[in-house]
Each structure stands twice: as C-alpha cells, then as structure tokens.
C-alpha cells in the first residue's frame, strides 16, 4: 500500500469515527437540551407546598407527581447532568415553581419560612385564636409549656414577629418569646424611677397592660401612664374600662353596662376595687412598659377619648366633665 492509498484509508477511518462520534454526541446533546427545557416547566399548580421527609430521594419525590415515564427520565437526566444527588428534608414552596427551581430549592434546603405575629394588647383568649391559625405543631396546649414563675401568663410574652420553619414547634417560639420578655422587663425594672408608686415588677406589668389597652396613640402612653401613677399615689381608683372588659371575657358582648360598672364581684372592676387588678390584662409592648417603669406621675387625673385615637387630658373633674361634653355627648 503506497502513501496515497494509506492516506485515503486513514481518511476513511477518521470519517467513520467522526460519524460515529456525531451519531453518539448529537442524541446526547438533544437529550440534555430536552431535559433542560423540561426542567423549566411548571411542577403542579394545584399544590402550594410539598414536604420532603428525612432520607427521601429525588426519585421518590418524582413518584409523588403524575409524571409520564419520559418526563421522569428527563428529570433524572437533569439531575445527572447537574450532579444533583441530595434532597434535604423540609417544607418547600411549590406553587408557580418550575421543576428546576423546585429541585434546586430541595437540594440547597431553601425551606419555606413562616412568620407568627404576637401583637401587643392581646389577651390569652385572643392569642389562642391567633395561634390556631398558624401551622405550628401545638405542643403547648393552654400555654402549659410556659414558665409559671408568675400566677399569670398575660404580660409575659414579648410582642414581636417570630419566624419559623415547618418543623418548628409552638413551645419553641413561645418559650423564646417569654424568655425575651423576662430579660426586657427585669432590665427595665432595675432602671425604675425613684418614688414610683409600684412596689414590684408584677405591679408594673399590670399597669403597663392597662396603658397598652388605653393608649390608642403611641405618643400618649407616657401621659396615660402618668395619669394612672398619679391616681395610685393619691389612692384614687383607676377606673379603667379595659380592666372591666377583661373580667367579663370571654363572654363580653361589646358594651359596658351600668351593672358592669357597679359589679363588685368582678375582681378586675377598677371602678370598684382600689389599686391594681389581680393580673395583667394583655400582652405588653416595650413602649408601654417603659412608660410605666421609667415614667413619672403628672398633674392630670382624667382623660377622655376625642374620637380620633387621641385623648383630652384634664387636671380637675370640672375640666373633665367639660371635655366629656365636648367630645362624647355632642
């Protein structure tokens, strides 16, 4: 075989090998492209969330969806091409997601983060309704998981927004909230003003909860706290409507009657009992607690709602009657 024939023979061999490579490569490229293309399709518009259990594989996950064999195959190709193996346990957003985003979120552990808001000014009856709307595992029935250092639970949780994962428990969040509030209240109590007409931190929590319910305007909290501190210092009854309402819970129908005002059997009726009611009546914000502990009595003894979220404050009963006539009787 001369050089020319050898060259032709080698060229033929190379052509055949190249053709073979093309025959193998093109389908692979098409397959990879098809898997990438399918990965951009929607997962399932009927489901909002999907929970991956510990030890679950992607192959098992695919079995939970109504996929054709060819679709499963394309997703498995996508996993292999992108070197994705591990599925992390957790609760994942599914609605409006493509397979690609869904797979990557499971691989990275980008679980759904929920939030629970514990508002200020809420009593236990209201808090129970809020907690029931969450998807937390209720392992704290009737708040039995909480610290019972006080004879009450209102006024021991820190109002805030708490973020949690699907696997978190209610007790974990409530105990954290309570611990944070204990720290806050104890630190503030150490800074209390001299001659404050409150002998214990419990007294401060009770009064702060009343301020929380009475103040519709953040700027007025210190003034309202000052009014109540003034009343306590001279032995005047607090006469706070929210305390009566709390004593009527959970059956309060929205109206305080004259009989309610005269009721001496309601231990929270501050129109009848002297001093503070037995316990706080709601959750307490930091600003309300500061208004009480760091505040001082003022010259006001009365206040009446003006109808715009603020109050008219008066030093004498005569001035108070004039304010009532102006803002509530007209």
- Give backbone dihedrals phi and psi of 255, rounded to 5 degrees, phi first: -125, 130
| Alpha carbons 180 and 12: distance in angstroms, whole number | 81
What is the SS3 assignment for 93? strand
Residue 217 has pLDDT above 80, yes or no: yes
Domain locations along the chain: 33-111, 113-186, 189-327
Q: Which pTM value belongs to this model? A: 0.82
Alpha helices in the chain, H assignment, sequence order: 3-39, 58-63, 69-81, 99-108, 124-132, 170-189, 201-214, 221-233, 241-248, 258-262, 286-293, 317-327
Tens of pLDDT, residue by residue over 282-309, are 999 999 999 999 988 899 999 999 988 8
CA-angle at 92, arms to 87 and 96, nearest 5°: 115
Query: What band does 20 get if pLDDT is binned at 50, 70 and 90?
Result: low
Q: Is the per-residue pLDDT at 27 higher than 90?
A: no
Which pair of structure tokens corresponds to residue 158? 């820190």
* Average per-residue pLDDT for the chain: 88
Q: What is the mean pLDDT of residues 319-328?
A: 92
Q: What is the mean pLDDT of residues 156-171?
A: 92
């Amino acid at each position: 075989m001369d050089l020319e024939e050898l060259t032709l023979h080698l060229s033929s061999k190379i052509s055949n090998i190249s053709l073979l490579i093309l025959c193998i490569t093109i389908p692979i490229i098409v397959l990879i492209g098809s898997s990438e293309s399918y990965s951009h399709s929607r997962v399932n518009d009927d489901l909002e969330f999907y929970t991956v259990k510990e030890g679950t594989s992607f192959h098992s996950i695919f079995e939970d969806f109504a996929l054709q064999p060819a679709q499963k195959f394309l997703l498995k190709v996508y996993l292999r091409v992108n070197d994705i193996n591990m599925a992390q346990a957790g609760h994942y957003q599914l609605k409006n997601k493509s397979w690609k985003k869904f797979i990557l979120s499971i691989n990275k552990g980008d679980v759904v983060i929920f939030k629970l808001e514990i508002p200020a000014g809420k009593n236990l009856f209201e808090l129970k309704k809020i907690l029931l709307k969450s998807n937390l595992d209720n392992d704290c029935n009737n708040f039995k998981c909480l610290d019972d250092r006080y004879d009450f639970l209102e006024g021991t949780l820190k109002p805030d927004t708490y973020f949690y994962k699907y696997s978190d428990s209610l007790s974990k969040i409530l105990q954290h909230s309570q611990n944070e509030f204990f720290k806050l209240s104890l630190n503030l109590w150490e800074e209390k003003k001299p001659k404050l007409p409150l002998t214990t931190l419990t007294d401060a929590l009770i009064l702060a909860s009343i301020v929380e319910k009475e103040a519709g305007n953040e700027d007025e909290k210190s003034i309202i706290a000052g009014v109540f501190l003034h009343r306590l210092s001279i032995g005047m009854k607090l006469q706070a409507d929210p305390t009566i309402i709390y004593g009527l819970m959970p059956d309060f129908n929205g109206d305080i009657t004259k009989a309610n005002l005269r009721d001496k059997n309601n231990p929270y009726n501050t129109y009848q009992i002297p001093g503070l009611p037995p316990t706080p009546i709601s959750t307490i914000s930091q600003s309300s607690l500061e208004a009480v502990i760091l505040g001082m009595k003022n010259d006001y003894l009365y206040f009446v709602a003006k109808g715009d979220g603020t109050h008219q404050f008066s030093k004498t009963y005569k001035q108070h009657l004039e304010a009532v006539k102006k803002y509530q009787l007209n």
